[in-house]
Chain A
Amino acid sequence: MEVLETDAQLVARCRAGDEDAWRELVDRFSRYVYAIIVQAFRLPEHDAEDVFQEVFTRAYEQLDKLRDDDAIRPWLAQLTRRLCIDTLRSGAREGPGEEAVFEPAGVDDTIAQLDEALSVHDALSTLPGNCQEILDRFFARDESYRLIGEALDLPSGTVASRISRCLVKLRTELEGRDSASAPSGG
Protein backbone atom coordinates (compact mmCIF):
# COMPACT_ATOMS: atom_id res chain seq x y z
CA MET A 1 0.00 0.00 0.00
CA GLU A 2 1.09 3.54 -0.69
CA VAL A 3 2.25 5.65 2.26
CA LEU A 4 0.54 9.01 2.24
CA GLU A 5 2.72 12.06 2.77
CA THR A 6 1.66 13.82 5.97
CA ASP A 7 -0.11 17.16 5.80
CA ALA A 8 2.91 18.81 7.44
CA GLN A 9 5.32 17.36 4.87
CA LEU A 10 3.08 18.53 2.05
CA VAL A 11 2.77 22.04 3.50
CA ALA A 12 6.55 22.22 3.97
CA ARG A 13 7.05 21.41 0.28
CA CYS A 14 4.49 24.07 -0.71
CA ARG A 15 6.27 26.61 1.44
CA ALA A 16 9.52 25.75 -0.33
CA GLY A 17 7.89 26.73 -3.63
CA ASP A 18 7.24 23.24 -4.96
CA GLU A 19 4.32 23.71 -7.34
CA ASP A 20 3.64 19.98 -7.64
CA ALA A 21 3.10 20.03 -3.89
CA TRP A 22 0.63 22.90 -4.25
CA ARG A 23 -1.35 20.93 -6.84
CA GLU A 24 -1.36 17.95 -4.50
CA LEU A 25 -2.50 20.10 -1.60
CA VAL A 26 -5.42 21.43 -3.64
CA ASP A 27 -6.25 17.90 -4.70
CA ARG A 28 -6.13 16.65 -1.10
CA PHE A 29 -8.36 19.34 0.36
CA SER A 30 -10.63 20.34 -2.54
CA ARG A 31 -13.44 17.98 -1.54
CA TYR A 32 -13.23 19.08 2.08
CA VAL A 33 -13.39 22.81 1.29
CA TYR A 34 -16.19 22.25 -1.23
CA ALA A 35 -18.18 20.18 1.27
CA ILE A 36 -17.91 22.86 3.97
CA ILE A 37 -19.19 25.44 1.49
CA VAL A 38 -22.13 23.47 0.13
CA GLN A 39 -23.03 21.19 3.02
CA ALA A 40 -22.28 23.20 6.14
CA PHE A 41 -23.16 26.63 4.69
CA ARG A 42 -25.41 25.52 1.81
CA LEU A 43 -24.15 28.23 -0.53
CA PRO A 44 -25.55 28.14 -4.07
CA GLU A 45 -23.20 26.94 -6.81
CA HIS A 46 -22.19 30.38 -8.15
CA ASP A 47 -21.23 31.64 -4.68
CA ALA A 48 -19.64 28.30 -3.90
CA GLU A 49 -17.23 28.62 -6.81
CA ASP A 50 -16.17 32.13 -5.75
CA VAL A 51 -15.59 31.06 -2.15
CA PHE A 52 -13.75 27.90 -3.25
CA GLN A 53 -11.29 29.91 -5.37
CA GLU A 54 -10.88 32.56 -2.70
CA VAL A 55 -10.09 29.97 -0.03
CA PHE A 56 -7.24 28.53 -2.07
CA THR A 57 -6.01 31.94 -3.20
CA ARG A 58 -5.76 33.13 0.40
CA ALA A 59 -4.28 29.83 1.50
CA TYR A 60 -1.57 30.23 -1.15
CA GLU A 61 -0.89 33.83 -0.15
CA GLN A 62 -0.95 33.23 3.59
CA LEU A 63 0.65 29.81 3.92
CA ASP A 64 3.64 31.41 5.61
CA LYS A 65 1.37 32.55 8.43
CA LEU A 66 0.38 29.00 9.32
CA ARG A 67 2.16 28.36 12.61
CA ASP A 68 1.80 24.60 12.70
CA ASP A 69 2.07 22.80 9.34
CA ASP A 70 0.11 19.89 10.78
CA ALA A 71 -2.84 22.23 11.34
CA ILE A 72 -3.50 22.90 7.67
CA ARG A 73 -6.87 21.14 7.81
CA PRO A 74 -8.44 23.20 10.65
CA TRP A 75 -6.81 26.31 9.21
CA LEU A 76 -8.47 25.73 5.83
CA ALA A 77 -11.76 24.94 7.58
CA GLN A 78 -11.60 28.22 9.48
CA LEU A 79 -10.67 30.16 6.35
CA THR A 80 -13.57 28.58 4.45
CA ARG A 81 -15.93 29.29 7.33
CA ARG A 82 -14.97 32.97 7.45
CA LEU A 83 -15.36 33.42 3.70
CA CYS A 84 -18.75 31.67 3.71
CA ILE A 85 -19.93 33.99 6.48
CA ASP A 86 -18.64 37.02 4.54
CA THR A 87 -20.60 35.85 1.48
CA LEU A 88 -23.79 35.29 3.47
CA ARG A 89 -23.34 38.64 5.18
CA SER A 90 -22.85 40.53 1.91
CA GLY A 91 -25.85 38.70 0.41
CA ALA A 92 -27.98 39.85 3.34
CA ARG A 93 -27.09 43.48 2.49
CA GLU A 94 -26.74 44.33 6.13
CA GLY A 95 -23.99 45.94 8.07
CA PRO A 96 -21.49 44.00 10.11
CA GLY A 97 -23.15 41.72 12.61
CA GLU A 98 -22.43 38.76 14.81
CA GLU A 99 -20.92 35.91 12.77
CA ALA A 100 -23.29 33.49 14.45
CA VAL A 101 -26.24 35.28 12.85
CA PHE A 102 -25.02 34.21 9.43
CA GLU A 103 -23.93 30.74 10.40
CA PRO A 104 -26.49 27.98 9.74
CA ALA A 105 -27.29 25.69 12.67
CA GLY A 106 -25.15 22.60 13.01
CA VAL A 107 -22.04 23.88 11.22
CA ASP A 108 -19.71 22.48 13.89
CA ASP A 109 -21.31 19.04 13.68
CA THR A 110 -21.17 19.05 9.89
CA ILE A 111 -17.49 20.04 9.87
CA ALA A 112 -16.73 17.31 12.43
CA GLN A 113 -18.37 14.77 10.13
CA LEU A 114 -16.43 16.15 7.15
CA ASP A 115 -13.20 15.79 9.15
CA GLU A 116 -13.97 12.13 9.64
CA ALA A 117 -14.93 11.74 5.99
CA LEU A 118 -11.63 13.30 4.93
CA SER A 119 -9.74 10.82 7.09
CA VAL A 120 -11.57 8.04 5.28
CA HIS A 121 -10.63 9.62 1.95
CA ASP A 122 -6.99 9.85 3.06
CA ALA A 123 -7.08 6.15 3.90
CA LEU A 124 -8.74 5.46 0.55
CA SER A 125 -5.87 7.17 -1.26
CA THR A 126 -3.43 4.61 0.16
CA LEU A 127 -5.37 1.66 -1.30
CA PRO A 128 -4.51 0.16 -4.70
CA GLY A 129 -5.69 2.29 -7.63
CA ASN A 130 -8.48 -0.12 -8.65
CA CYS A 131 -10.02 0.11 -5.17
CA GLN A 132 -9.75 3.89 -5.11
CA GLU A 133 -11.47 4.17 -8.45
CA ILE A 134 -14.31 1.75 -7.84
CA LEU A 135 -15.16 3.12 -4.38
CA ASP A 136 -14.98 6.70 -5.59
CA ARG A 137 -17.17 5.96 -8.60
CA PHE A 138 -19.78 4.08 -6.58
CA PHE A 139 -20.00 6.20 -3.43
CA ALA A 140 -18.73 9.69 -4.24
CA ARG A 141 -19.86 9.91 -7.87
CA ASP A 142 -22.96 7.78 -7.29
CA GLU A 143 -22.43 5.72 -10.45
CA SER A 144 -24.45 2.52 -10.94
CA TYR A 145 -22.96 -0.99 -11.11
CA ARG A 146 -23.80 -0.96 -14.82
CA LEU A 147 -21.99 2.32 -15.51
CA ILE A 148 -18.95 1.26 -13.50
CA GLY A 149 -18.94 -2.12 -15.21
CA GLU A 150 -18.94 -0.45 -18.61
CA ALA A 151 -16.17 1.97 -17.65
CA LEU A 152 -13.95 -0.68 -16.12
CA ASP A 153 -14.95 -3.52 -18.42
CA LEU A 154 -16.27 -5.68 -15.58
CA PRO A 155 -19.52 -7.66 -15.16
CA SER A 156 -21.93 -6.08 -12.66
CA GLY A 157 -21.53 -9.00 -10.23
CA THR A 158 -17.77 -8.45 -10.18
CA VAL A 159 -18.30 -4.73 -9.53
CA ALA A 160 -20.41 -5.54 -6.48
CA SER A 161 -17.95 -8.06 -5.05
CA ARG A 162 -14.99 -5.76 -5.73
CA ILE A 163 -16.70 -2.89 -3.91
CA SER A 164 -17.27 -5.16 -0.96
CA ARG A 165 -13.64 -6.38 -0.94
CA CYS A 166 -12.33 -2.83 -1.25
CA LEU A 167 -14.49 -1.68 1.66
CA VAL A 168 -12.94 -4.41 3.78
CA LYS A 169 -9.46 -3.19 2.77
CA LEU A 170 -10.45 0.37 3.60
CA ARG A 171 -11.76 -0.65 7.01
CA THR A 172 -8.56 -2.60 7.73
CA GLU A 173 -6.46 0.45 6.78
CA LEU A 174 -8.52 2.74 9.01
CA GLU A 175 -8.47 0.38 11.96
CA GLY A 176 -4.71 0.00 11.57
CA ARG A 177 -4.34 3.77 11.74
CA ASP A 178 -6.57 4.03 14.79
CA SER A 179 -4.68 1.39 16.71
CA ALA A 180 -1.34 2.96 15.68
CA SER A 181 -2.45 6.37 16.97
CA ALA A 182 -4.19 5.09 20.12
CA PRO A 183 -2.50 5.89 23.42
CA SER A 184 -0.45 3.01 24.74
CA GLY A 185 -2.39 3.02 28.02
CA GLY A 186 -0.98 2.64 31.49
Chain B
Amino acid sequence: MPAYTEETLAELLRTLPAPAQAWVHAAQEIPLARRGLDEIVERARADRAFRNALIADLELALEAEGYEPDPLLVEALRARFPS
Protein backbone atom coordinates (compact mmCIF):
# COMPACT_ATOMS: atom_id res chain seq x y z
CA MET B 1 0.00 0.00 0.00
CA PRO B 2 1.48 3.38 -0.92
CA ALA B 3 2.26 5.65 2.02
CA TYR B 4 0.19 8.75 1.45
CA THR B 5 1.93 11.42 3.46
CA GLU B 6 0.68 14.97 3.22
CA GLU B 7 3.65 15.78 0.98
CA THR B 8 2.98 12.83 -1.34
CA LEU B 9 -0.65 13.81 -1.73
CA ALA B 10 0.26 17.43 -2.35
CA GLU B 11 2.73 16.40 -5.04
CA LEU B 12 0.23 14.08 -6.72
CA LEU B 13 -2.48 16.76 -6.69
CA ARG B 14 -0.05 19.21 -8.26
CA THR B 15 0.79 16.69 -10.98
CA LEU B 16 -2.56 17.04 -12.73
CA PRO B 17 -3.31 20.68 -13.50
CA ALA B 18 -6.48 21.30 -15.48
CA PRO B 19 -6.23 22.02 -19.21
CA ALA B 20 -7.90 25.19 -20.54
CA GLN B 21 -11.64 25.04 -19.97
CA ALA B 22 -12.22 25.79 -23.65
CA TRP B 23 -10.33 22.62 -24.62
CA VAL B 24 -12.46 20.55 -22.28
CA HIS B 25 -15.69 22.09 -23.59
CA ALA B 26 -14.65 21.47 -27.18
CA ALA B 27 -13.96 17.80 -26.39
CA GLN B 28 -17.27 17.51 -24.55
CA GLU B 29 -19.07 18.85 -27.61
CA ILE B 30 -17.71 16.22 -29.98
CA PRO B 31 -21.09 14.42 -30.12
CA LEU B 32 -22.70 17.75 -31.02
CA ALA B 33 -20.13 18.37 -33.71
CA ARG B 34 -21.06 15.02 -35.14
CA ARG B 35 -24.62 16.26 -35.41
CA GLY B 36 -23.76 19.31 -37.45
CA LEU B 37 -22.68 21.97 -34.96
CA ASP B 38 -19.43 22.69 -36.79
CA GLU B 39 -21.19 22.97 -40.13
CA ILE B 40 -23.86 25.35 -38.79
CA VAL B 41 -21.33 27.59 -37.04
CA GLU B 42 -19.15 27.70 -40.15
CA ARG B 43 -22.13 28.56 -42.31
CA ALA B 44 -23.31 31.28 -39.93
CA ARG B 45 -19.86 32.85 -40.08
CA ALA B 46 -19.97 32.95 -43.86
CA ASP B 47 -23.64 33.81 -44.36
CA ARG B 48 -24.85 36.96 -42.59
CA ALA B 49 -28.54 36.34 -43.37
CA PHE B 50 -28.36 32.87 -41.83
CA ARG B 51 -26.51 34.25 -38.81
CA ASN B 52 -29.15 36.95 -38.32
CA ALA B 53 -31.90 34.37 -38.65
CA LEU B 54 -30.22 32.24 -35.97
CA ILE B 55 -30.01 35.21 -33.64
CA ALA B 56 -33.63 36.21 -34.30
CA ASP B 57 -35.17 32.76 -33.79
CA LEU B 58 -32.74 29.92 -33.50
CA GLU B 59 -35.09 26.96 -33.67
CA LEU B 60 -37.09 28.43 -36.55
CA ALA B 61 -33.92 29.18 -38.52
CA LEU B 62 -32.66 25.63 -38.03
CA GLU B 63 -35.94 24.09 -39.10
CA ALA B 64 -36.15 26.38 -42.12
CA GLU B 65 -32.76 25.08 -43.27
CA GLY B 66 -33.63 21.44 -42.62
CA TYR B 67 -31.60 20.93 -39.43
CA GLU B 68 -33.06 18.89 -36.61
CA PRO B 69 -33.33 21.30 -33.61
CA ASP B 70 -31.86 18.82 -31.13
CA PRO B 71 -31.99 20.37 -27.60
CA LEU B 72 -28.24 20.00 -26.98
CA LEU B 73 -27.43 21.41 -30.39
CA VAL B 74 -29.79 24.34 -29.78
CA GLU B 75 -28.19 24.98 -26.37
CA ALA B 76 -24.68 25.00 -27.85
CA LEU B 77 -25.74 27.30 -30.67
CA ARG B 78 -27.56 29.64 -28.31
CA ALA B 79 -24.31 30.08 -26.39
CA ARG B 80 -22.59 31.07 -29.62
CA PHE B 81 -25.39 33.18 -31.09
CA PRO B 82 -27.24 34.80 -28.21
CA SER B 83 -30.44 36.56 -29.23
Q: Which positions in A face B, CB cutoff 8 Å?
A: 19, 22-23, 26-27, 30-35, 39, 48-49, 52-53, 56-57, 60, 113-114, 116-118, 120-121, 124, 135-136, 139-142, 164, 167, 170-171, 174-175, 178-179, 182
Q: Indicate if the CB atoms of A32 and B2 lie closer than 8 Å.
A: no
Q: Does B82 sit within 8 A of A, measured CB to CB?
A: no
Instruction: For the complex formed, measure the closest distance between the CB of A14 and the CB atoms of chain B, giving whole angstroms.
Output: 9
Q: Indicate if the CB atoms of A30 and B13 lie closer than 8 Å.
A: no
Evaluate whether A140 and B18 lie within 8 angstroms (CB atoms) in the complex, with A19-B72, A26-B28, A60-B31 already known.
yes
Q: How far is the CA of A164 from the CA of B2 in the complex (A)?
A: 19
Q: Which parts of B12-27 form the interface with A (CB within 8 Å)?
A: 12-20, 23-24, 26-27
Evaluate whether A60 and B30 lie within 8 angstroms (CB atoms) in the complex, with A31-B18, A141-B18, A174-B4 already known.
yes
Q: How far is the CA of A178 from the CA of B24 in the complex (A)?
A: 30
Q: Indicate if the CB atoms of A171 and B18 lie closer than 8 Å.
A: no
Q: Which parts of B21-59 form the interface with A (CB within 8 Å)?
A: 23-24, 26-28, 30-32, 34
Q: Indicate if the CB atoms of B30 and A57 lie closer than 8 Å.
A: yes
Q: Does B6 sit within 8 A of A, measured CB to CB?
A: yes
| Other 12 A-B pairs with CB < 8 A, given A31-B17, A60-B30, A175-B1 | A27-B24, A53-B23, A53-B26, A60-B34, A113-B15, A114-B16, A117-B16, A124-B13, A140-B14, A167-B6, A174-B4, A178-B2
- Which residue of the partner chain, among B1, B2, B13, B31, contacts A139 with CB atoms under 8 Å? B13
Q: Give the number of chain B interface residues (Cβ < 8 Å).
A: 25
Q: Indicate if the CB atoms of B15 and A22 lie closer than 8 Å.
A: no
Q: How far is the CA of A113 from the CA of B14 in the complex (A)?
A: 11
Show 6 A/B contacts (Cβ-Cβ < 8 Å), sorted by A.
Answer: A34-B17, A53-B26, A117-B12, A135-B13, A140-B18, A141-B17
Q: Which residues of B contact A35 (CB under 8 A)?
A: 15-17
Q: Indicate if the CB atoms of A30 and B12 lie closer than 8 Å.
A: no
Q: Which residues of B contact A26 (CB under 8 A)?
A: 24, 27-28
Q: Does B64 sit within 8 A of A, measured CB to CB?
A: no
Q: Which residues of B contact A27 (CB under 8 A)?
A: 24, 28
Q: Indicate if the CB atoms of B23 and A30 lie closer than 8 Å.
A: yes
